[in-house]
Copies of this chain bind each other. A is one copy, B any other.
Amino acid sequence: MPSISPSPVLRGEKHSFSFAQAPHEMVLENGSRIGPVTIAYETFGRLTPAKDNAILVAHAFTGDSHVAGLYADEPDDARPGWWDSMVGPGRGIDTDRFFVICSNILGGCAGSTGPSSLHPTSGRPYGLDFPMVTIGDMVTAQKALLDHLEIDRLVAVIGGSLGGMQTLEWCVRYPDMIRAAIPIATTMRHSALAIAFNEVARQAIMADPNWKRGDYYGTAGPDTGLAVARMIGHVTYLSDQAMRRKFGRRLQDKQDFSFGFDADFQVESYLRHQGNKFVQRFDANSLLYITKASDYFDLKEAPGKPFREPGTAGTKFLVVSYTSDWLYPTYQARELVQALKRSGRDVSFCEIEADCGHDAFLIPDERLNTLVRGFLDGLA
C-alpha cells in the first residue's frame, strides 16, 4: 500500500468546555447525576458560516481528542495525532473541506471528566465514586459540546472500535442531526469473548494491592496490574498472522534461551514495553469504567428488547470491517449491516483484507482513505 506522509501544516489546539454545573447536573443513563462536566476537544479545519461541514470523530478505548496533526503550541511535538493518516488536508476526511471535531470521552483521562477528576464536593479525585457512564452518556456529553459550538447538523459521525459504538449510539439518540455514519471495526454488542477479555483486564487491575478499591491517587498506583491489563488488550488488537510476521519466534537481544523468566522472545519484550508505556499515560480507573461501558453497549437496550434503530431512512451508513479482526469479527459487522437493512437504512459495507487484526483501522492504509473519501463525496 502507498505510504501516507504526515501533515506538517496541520496544527491543532486543545480546548475544553464545561457544562452541567450544580444544580443542573447531567443525568446519566443509570439515573445518577454528575456535574460539572468538562470535555476536552480539538477541532481541525474551518467551520463554514452555515455550519454545515462538521464531522465528529469518536475515538477508541485508549484514544484522546488529538486525532491529527501536531499541537500548535508545542513546536517540538514530534508525534502526530492517532488518526493523522485519515484526517488532514487531502486525506480521507479532508480538513480543507470539513470541520473536524474530536473530544475525549466522558470517563476518560485525557482532559475530560473521569474517575481521576476532582469530586466537586470532596475536592478529592472521584475514584470509584465516579458514576458508571455508558456509551449513551459519552454521546450526550458530545451533544452538549456541539450545542456549545452551535452546530446542529453533522455531515458524519465516524469512529473505530469503541468509536464505532459511539457512532451508532449517536444515530440512535440524534438521528435527525446526522447525514451519514461510518462505524468501523465495531459491533452492535460485545460477544462473550470480548466481555471475557475485558473482565480479565479489570481483574488484573483490581488484583493489584495498589489499586486500593480505586482510591490510589497521590500514591503509587496499580501500575503492574494496569500493565498486565494493557498486555491482554494489546494481544486482542493484533492477529495471529500479524504477530507471526512481526515477531515469529525471534529472540530478543540474545542468541539462545535464557532458561529463566526474562523475556526470551521479542513478543514478550514488546508486550512488556507496551504495558509499561501505557501506565505513563492512562488511568487504571478509566480503563475499568470504559471497558464496562463497552460491555454494556447493545443496540438492544436489554436481551429480548427490540432493536434500537440507528438513524432515519435518510441516514447513509458505511460499515467497515477487517478480515483478521477477531475481537469484532466480520460476522458481527454483517449482523449490523443486516439489522440496518431490515430497518430500511441505506447501507454500504466493506470488508477490508488486512492481516493486522483489530488495530488495522489505526494503521495508515490508503484503501480506508479512498473508501471514506468516496463515501463522503457521494453525500453531496
Q: Is the interface of A mostly helix, strand, loop or mixed?
A: helix
Q: Are A193 and B235 in contact (CB-based, < 8 A)?
A: yes
A132 within 8 A of B: yes
Q: How far is the CA of A131 from the CA of B197 in the complex (A)?
A: 32
Instruction: Select A267's contact among B192, B249, B257, beta carbons within 8 Å.
Output: B192
A295 within 8 A of B: yes
Least distance between A356 CB and chain B CB atoms (Å)? 13
- B-chain residues with CB within 8 Å of residue A196 when the two chains form the complex: 231, 235, 243, 267-268, 271
Q: Which of A4-12, A16-24, A296-304 contacts B (4 or more CB under 8 A)?
A: A296-304
A97 within 8 A of B: no
Q: Are A199 and B231 in contact (CB-based, < 8 A)?
A: yes
Q: How far is the CA of A267 from the CA of B77 in the complex (A)?
A: 43
Contacts known (A192-B248, A302-B256); A264 close to B228, Cβ less than 8 A: no
A216 within 8 A of B: no
Chain B's closest residue to A272 (CB) is B203
Q: Are A197 and B235 in contact (CB-based, < 8 A)?
A: yes
Q: Are A303 and B228 in contact (CB-based, < 8 A)?
A: no
- B-chain residues with CB within 8 Å of residue A268 when the two chains form the complex: 195-196, 199
Q: Are B200 and A228 in contact (CB-based, < 8 A)?
A: yes
Q: Are A257 and B296 in contact (CB-based, < 8 A)?
A: yes
- B-chain residues with CB within 8 Å of residue A193 when the two chains form the complex: 235, 238, 240, 243-244
Instruction: Give a binary string over A167-206; 1 marks a CB under 8 Å from any B CB, 0 the rest.
Output: 0000000000000000000000111110111011011101
Q: Can you sample 10 A-B contacts with CB below 8 Å?
A: A192-B244, A196-B243, A199-B267, A199-B272, A203-B224, A203-B275, A207-B227, A228-B228, A261-B288, A326-B326
Q: Are B207 and A225 in contact (CB-based, < 8 A)?
A: yes
Q: How far is the CA of A238 from the CA of B191 in the complex (A)?
A: 13
A265 within 8 A of B: yes
Known: A196-B271, A200-B271, A203-B231. 13 other contacts (CB 8 A): A191-B240, A193-B235, A195-B267, A196-B243, A196-B268, A203-B227, A207-B225, A207-B228, A240-B329, A250-B303, A261-B288, A261-B292, A264-B296
Contacts known (A203-B275, A231-B200, A296-B257); A246 close to B209, Cβ less than 8 A: no
Q: Are A200 and B232 in contact (CB-based, < 8 A)?
A: yes
- B-chain residues with CB within 8 Å of residue A238 when the two chains form the complex: 193
Give A296-330 interface residues, CB cut-off 8 Å to B. 296, 298, 302-303, 326, 329
A30 within 8 A of B: yes
A residues lining the B interface (CB < 8 Å): 30, 128, 131-132, 189-193, 195-197, 199-200, 202-204, 206-209, 224-225, 227-228, 231-232, 235, 238, 240, 243-244, 246-251, 256-257, 259-261, 263-265, 267-268, 271-272, 275, 288, 292, 295-296, 298, 302-303, 326, 329
Least distance between A185 CB and chain B CB atoms (Å)? 16
Chain B's closest residue to A222 (CB) is B207
Q: Are B206 and A303 in contact (CB-based, < 8 A)?
A: no
- B-chain residues with CB within 8 Å of residue A260 when the two chains form the complex: 132
Q: Are A295 and B206 in contact (CB-based, < 8 A)?
A: no
